[in-house]
Amino acid sequence: MFILLRPGCALKDRARILRAIEEAGLAVQVSEGHHRIVIGVVGEEDLLRGVALETFPGVESVIRLRPPYRLAARETHPDESVVAVGPTRIGGGNLAILAGPCAVEEEEQFLAAAQAVKAAGANLLRGGAYKPRTSPYDFRGLGAPGLAILRSVSREVGLPVVTEAMDTRHLDQVAQHADMIQIGTRNMQNYPLLEAAGRARMPVLLKRGRACTVSEWLCAAEYVLDAGNPSVVLCERGLVSFDPAVRNHLDLSCVPLVKRLSHLPIVVDPSHGTGRRDLVPAMARAAVAAGADGVMLEVHPRPEQALSDAQQAILPEELEALVPELRAIQEILRRHPVRIA
Ligand code: PEP
Ligand code: MN
């Protein structure tokens, strides 16, 4: 930690700052320049958590060197984490293809979608039983009966399944029927839900809040990790955009950034990230090229009949064409590993 003092900081104010740091059990190094004085704090800066140094007279700014998340940080965990969801591995050079319809609509639709995505090469099935919708009059999912369909179809096709839990009240139910719990963009900062997911002892797919920074996202992951659950996968799904041409603005630059800051695997959802079926394949390829550990794709056997997110669902045959392209891109990266600076 560095503390920059105001020009002309009184000696008594400086002494007070130094005393507060030393009383917290830390050492100081004072650098006196021609115009300004900087205090370097040596030791574990967490010891100063309860000391609001910014409020001390004479302090201009405080630069903290440790990120506000710990367990999610690469510096505390240099090796990349690999998250197991049934037989599927996310991270560590494996390519995860999470695919399926936006929502479980009825058994026949979900089974057809699941069989199609499995045949196309997906290794994790997706589908929502509890759907967060902007308008309450839109299809909000089948709820508990949807979870039962999800479980039976997942068993029938032999793919692990991820589905969203919107509420702590549904978490146990979701955990019993799925192999991975999804926390949606709207709930990324629902701290009781994150803590409950942390206690659930099952992998968590944590979507990035639609207007959240990478640091806030990693802090949200920290809640799950801190509650005792090490199996967190991050999912970039686009940020609010000023441009109505796309539903969201897909932030692919966060992929190498997250890789640098964290050991957690990261996947990208270009379906919600663009909201446009025609843009999904290109952004999926770009995501893998950027170093993502996988992609999440909405696939529907009859998009024109989909009850939610019809405009962004790709067809099973589009997934089938895309999967070998994604694997080819990943193979290039394997042969020419990308440096995480
Ligand atoms: C979803 O994946 O179905 C979903 C609702 O995603 P998001 O939370 O990213 O909008
Ligand atoms: Mn959707």
Best mutation site among 110, 126, 182 for ligand 1 pocket (most ligand atoms within 8 Å of CB) = 182
Nearest CA, atom 3, ligand 1: 102
DSSP 5-65: EPTT--HHHHHHHHHHHHHTT-EEEEEE-SS-EEEEEES-GGGGTT--GGGSTTEEEEE--
Over residues 37-62, the mean pLDDT reads 95
Over residues 93-116, the mean pLDDT reads 98
Residue 256, both tokens: 């190498």
Best mutation site among 272, 295, 298, 308 for ligand 1 pocket (most ligand atoms within 8 Å of CB) = 272
- Could you give the 3-state DSSP secondary structure of residue 81? coil
Nearest CA, atom 6, ligand 1: 184
- Of the bound ligands, which one is closest to the alpha carbon of residue 312? 2
CATH 3.20.20.70 fits 74-335, yes or no: yes
Q: pLDDT tens digit string along 210-232?
A: 999 999 999 999 999 999 999 99
Nearest CA, atom 4, ligand 1: 184
Confidence class for position 22, pLDDT limits 50, 70, 90 = very high
Domain ranges for the chain: 2-63, 74-335
CA–centroid distance, residue 268 to ligand 2 (Å): 14
CA–centroid distance, residue 75 to ligand 2 (Å): 34
Q: pLDDT tens digit string along 273-308?
A: 999 999 999 999 999 999 999 999 999 999 999 999
Q: What value does the mean pLDDT of the chain take?
A: 96
- Tell me what percent of the residues of the chain surpass a pLDDT of 70: 99
Kindly list the protein residues whose Cβ atom lies closer than 6 A to any atom of ligand 1.
Answer: 102, 128, 132, 184-185, 207, 237, 272
More confident call, 336 vs 234: 234
Confidence class for position 42, pLDDT limits 50, 70, 90 = very high
Confidence class for position 337, pLDDT limits 50, 70, 90 = confident
Cα gap 175→164, rounded to integer Å: 10
User: Which residue, 235, 225, 239, 238, is CA-closest to 258?
Assistant: 235
CA–centroid distance, residue 200 to ligand 1 (Å): 20
Over residues 224-245, the mean pLDDT reads 98
Confidence class for position 247, pLDDT limits 50, 70, 90 = very high
Residue 92, both tokens: 């560590």
Q: Which atom of ligand 1 is nearest to the CA of 182?
A: 2
Q: pLDDT tens digit string along 26-36?
A: 999 999 998 89
Confidence class for position 341, pLDDT limits 50, 70, 90 = low
Confidence class for position 205, pLDDT limits 50, 70, 90 = very high
CA–centroid distance, residue 69 to ligand 2 (Å): 29
Q: pLDDT tens digit string along 304-322?
A: 999 999 999 999 999 999 9
Q: What superfamily would CATH give domain 2-63?
A: Phospho-2-dehydro-3-deoxyheptonate aldolase; domain 1 (3.30.70.1140)
Cα gap 294→180, rounded to integer Å: 15
Nearest CA, atom 8, ligand 1: 184
Residue 340 has pLDDT above 70, yes or no: no
Structure confidence at residue 208 (pLDDT):
98
H-helix segments, the chain: 11-23, 107-120, 144-157, 171-177, 191-199, 214-226, 254-261, 270-274, 280-289, 316-335
CA–centroid distance, residue 128 to ligand 2 (Å): 8
Structure confidence at residue 201 (pLDDT):
87
CA–centroid distance, residue 77 to ligand 1 (Å): 29
Structure confidence at residue 118 (pLDDT):
98
Residue 10, both tokens: 């009184």
Best mutation site among 102, 208, 295 for ligand 1 pocket (most ligand atoms within 8 Å of CB) = 102
Structure confidence at residue 331 (pLDDT):
95
Task: Give backbone dihedrals phi and psi of 301, rounded to 5 degrees, phi first.
Answer: -65, -30
